[in-house]
Amino acid sequence: MPSSTSSSDPQIRPVPALPWGRVLVTGILLTVVGLVCWEIYWRSQDFEPSFRNSDGLWAMTRNRIDREGPGGTAVVGSSRLLFDLHLEAWREETGTLPVQLALEGTDPRPFLAHLAQETDFAGLVLVGVAPPLFFTPDIGLRASLLEYYRNESPSQWASQRISMAVEPYIAFYSFDTALFTVLRRQTIWPERDVGSALPVVRKLSNMQITRQSPMWEKLEHDEAYRDMARSTWLEFLNMPRELPPPEVLKAGFENLLASVKTDVDTIRSRGGEVVFVRAPSTGPFREVENGGFPRERMWDVLLEHTGTLGVHFEDHPDLQDVEVPEWSHIRAGDTERWTRALIGHLRRGLDARGTSRVELKP
Amino acid sequence: MLFNSMTFVVFFAVVLALHHAPFGSWRIKKIQLLLASYLFYAAWNPPFVLLLWISTIVDWNVAKRIHTAETIGKRRGWMLASVLVNLGILGYFKYGGFLLANWVALMGSAGIEWQAPDWNIILPVGISFYTFQTMAYSLDVYLRRAEPSKSLLDFSLFVTFFPQLVAGPIVRPTDLIPQFAEKPAPRRGRFTWGLSLMVLGMFQKIVIADAALAPAAEKVFEAGGKLFWIDAWLGTLAFSGQIFCDFAGYSTTAVGAAMVLGFSLPNNFRFPYAAIGFSDFWRRWHISLSTWLRDYLYVPLGGNRKGPARTYVNLAVTMLLGGLWHGASWTFVVWGGLHGLYLGVERFIRERVGPTRLSNTLPFQIALAMVTYFLVNLTWVFFRAKEFDTAWRMISSMLTFGAGDRVLPGVEIVLVGFTIFAILFVHGRMREKRLEDVVARTPWWVTAIVVAFMLFATIITQGSNDAFIYFQF
């Protein structure tokens, strides 16, 4: 009888007879040469090392809320507050660094609900409102992020930190330069009509460790790239959308208002405050937003129903005095001035309502 | 911990450095490997390490008692204890919700409204693999195929050995435990060949499965409506390539990682899409599971020793349970059932027709291989679809060449077409060969270029850190 301890003859795997030392050295050398060439190519395309806009970085940032206590400022929203808010300027103005939780292409309502229901956050919450995302039922691109956050494993936690040790040094270590992302966006492939697929948005910003995400300078300086970004937005804006019947839309909007009010009230009951911010858009974006989501029927109703302060860029010339290269986000150079102006409006607005916040004190 | 994660790169580098460091006895090295294996598993969900400890302690003690038991009744009792504990753990974590849902449905069909409690149990990763591996140890001792291990350390390492812990290959105790007894003798090229296999495995997973094929499979299987037949077929073909490269990629990486550490794991795949017939397919696909099912289920049920009718029943039961092993869903049972049916029909035809001059010709063999691949693809629809509605919709589009939605853009069609052609070409060419023999006949610099290309492509693909599909089993 074979023994599991000694007497059996386990199958020993064969090793091909090759000069493996030479294979190892040559293989490593070729790989390194390939990677260096790849890095040089992407740097020549104006890419620079930055942090990856990963679920893990969001989770790290989100953990600041538990670590730093119930006060402070948290930002939920979509790409506009993510790109437009200058976090260092905010810190200089108020003494604290906001927790930047805004997510591109994503409805902030589930994240407001998360702050209200799953934390004891009692500070100031800035909610960015991009009407096509906020007032529609789809959560958007990063819908699965909260699930990731709730179930992040020790391995994912560690991978995030190891990855961040590499990210600041390698330009090609970016979602935008991944091999198959690059392959799929080439124009050589046969055309095929597959209906209304969501257009793929190319790189627009460079993320920093605080999740400050200023617009990529290429959008300012490279006309062709800016035109391409604009054409992507046009594609997005012109997508056919099947709208539900008016009564369903109305009921959906009423439910939306009710759920947002519940979350606002929950945060307020702990001593916190919520404000809504409508950041600038221009060109076709603004036309579609104003046409499809009229301010008086959506934004104004939201503020009235929740009893909150809202800062809308159309009400303030200093919030409009910025360059918006691709119609949706402020150029990096204008974000500092815009952020300081926004803080001023928030202070005055809350003071006028008798709800001044310690988070905004100079 | 996923192989395709930053954490694993650092973890493996540290483990390797400690394992090959010139200090520390062999016993210390094994303790390091054991602790590393627990860490590897805990990196998903630390409390689940307890399950590994339970499996280890139960089967270590049960096997000893089976071995020393004086009566057949006692032997059988201890064997059943092992089976009950292992299948009990598996049943609770993996099949509890499934059984409850079916119980509720059964009661509902009898007009009884049954209120089931919530069953939000997290499935411990790889539980089906290590429970089967551990159970094999007690069963081997019960069936007098092996004696119990004399070293608890070696046995614990056998249960927990991290390269193959969560997705196989399911290793037999007689294959692995003896390798832990003594420090492996040095072998020229083992380290670099092991690393090369790891690169090949990661290339299969990250570049082919996740980046080239998964998006097409996902687009097709997640589409709501009826699909144009070409899209349905391409989505299914994409999944056939994805599941192979995902699972074989894991197995190859596991084999390579073990090899770098000085150990040998068996092959789990042998170019299965070149299979001619279904018994051939199952000698090439997930070999460690099919042989496990053969040795611990099919043969004990009587195998082919109890007459033709019983043989067909045994085959069907084995494949149905094999299907259920993959997942707690009726779609997996249908997947297993179809394979059981295929095997049964093949056996029936073989017994009556037998080999002919025509059946041995190359064109006939190629035609049979194509029929096999075609029928295997039909089963993948049930494997991939989350519910029967999707599966029927897909099958209907594929078999009726029906009209419907086009969901795959041109780029996905090109990627799937090219990749599947490449996979089938390689499987066809390698059908009767071993990778090691082909590499041995290849100039060293060609091997270096191929490995460097795969490593380079894997790094720049970056990977999405998607879990291996078989982890959920």
Looking at the predicted structure, is the pLDDT value of residue A5 above 60? no
CA distance B5 to B465: 6
Cβ contact, residue pair B43, A154, below 8 Å = yes
Distance of residue B265 Cα from the nearest chain A Cα, in angstroms: 7
B341 to chain A, minimum CA–CA distance in Å?
Answer: 33
Q: What does A240-290 look like in DSSP terms, one character per residue?
A: ---PPPHHHHHHHHHHHHHHHHHHHHHHHHTT-EEEEEE----HHHHHHHH
Residue B181 near chain A (CB below 8 Å): yes
CB of A192 within 8 A of CB of B412?
no
**A30 contacts B187? CB cut-off 8 A:** no
A4 and B CB contact within 8 Å: yes
Three-class secondary structure of residue A14 per DSSP: coil
Query: Which residues, numbered 136 to 165 in chain B, qualify as contacts with chain A under a Cβ-Cβ cut-off of 8 Å?
Result: 137, 140-141, 144-151, 154-155
Under a CB-based contact definition with an 8 Å cutoff, are residues B202 and A28 in contact? no
Q: Is the dihedral angle over the CA atoms B142, B143, B144, B149 positive or is it negative?
A: negative
Nearest CA in chain B to A158: B7
Q: What is the pLDDT along chain B (473 residues), one digit of tens a residue?
A: 888 889 999 999 999 999 999 999 999 999 999 999 999 999 988 999 999 999 999 999 999 999 999 899 999 999 999 999 999 998 888 888 888 888 888 888 888 877 777 767 777 888 889 999 999 999 999 999 889 999 999 999 999 999 999 887 999 999 999 999 999 988 899 999 999 999 999 999 999 999 999 999 999 999 888 899 999 999 999 999 999 999 999 999 999 999 999 999 999 999 999 999 999 999 999 999 999 999 999 999 998 888 889 999 999 999 999 999 888 889 999 999 999 999 999 999 988 887 777 778 999 999 999 999 999 999 999 999 989 999 999 999 999 888 888 999 999 999 999 999 999 999 999 999 999 999 999 999 999 999 999 999 999 999 776 566 666 66
Which distant-in-sequence residues (6+ apart) come within 8 Å of B372 by Cβ?
B275, B276, B277, B278, B280, B281
- Contacts B455 to A, Cβ<8 Å: 27, 31
- pLDDT band of A54, cuts 50, 70, 90: very high
Is A14 in contact with B436 (Cβ distance < 8 A)?
yes
Does residue A115 contact residue A121 with C-beta atoms inside 8 Å?
A: yes
**Contact state of B175 with A8 under an 8 Å Cβ cutoff:** yes
Collapse the DSSP code of B98 into the 3-class scheme (helix H, G, I; strand E, B; otherwise coil) and give the result. helix
Measured between CB atoms, does B195 come within 8 Å of chain A? Answer: yes
Beta-carbon separation of B445 and A18 below 8 A: no
Question: Helices marked H in B143-273 — which ranges?
Answer: 152-160, 173-181, 190-202, 214-222, 229-260
Structure tokens at B443: 């100039």
Query: In chain A, which residues have their Cβ closer than 8 Å to the Cβ of B154?
Result: 5
Find chain A residues with C-beta within 8 A of B255's C-beta. 13
Among the partner residues B2, B410, B436, nearest to A189 by beta-carbon distance: B410
Nearest chain A CA: its distance from B218 CA (Å): 14
ipTM of the complex: 0.89
The whole-model pTM stands at 0.91
Instruction: Look over chain A and give the mean of its residue pLDDT values, rounded to a whole number.
Output: 91
CA-nearest residue to B445 within chain A is A23
- Please determine, looking at this structure, whether the domain spanning A68-152+203-360 carries the CATH number 3.40.50: yes
Q: In chain B, what residues touch A162 (CB-CB under 8 Å)?
A: 6-7, 9-10
pLDDT of residue A9: 44
Measure CB to CB from residue B459 to each of A12, A35, A154 and give the nearest one: A35
Percent of chain A's residues with pLDDT above 90: 78
Nearest CA to A144 out of A248, A257, A59 is that of: A59
Q: Which of A1, A5, A26 sits opposite B448 (nearest CB)?
A: A26
Q: Which residues of B are catalytic?
A: 326
Nearest-CA distance B367 → chain A (Å): 31
- Put simply, whether B297 touches A (Cβ < 8 Å) is no
Q: Which of residues 174-203 of A touch B (CB under 8 A)?
A: 175, 177-180, 183-184, 186, 189-195, 197
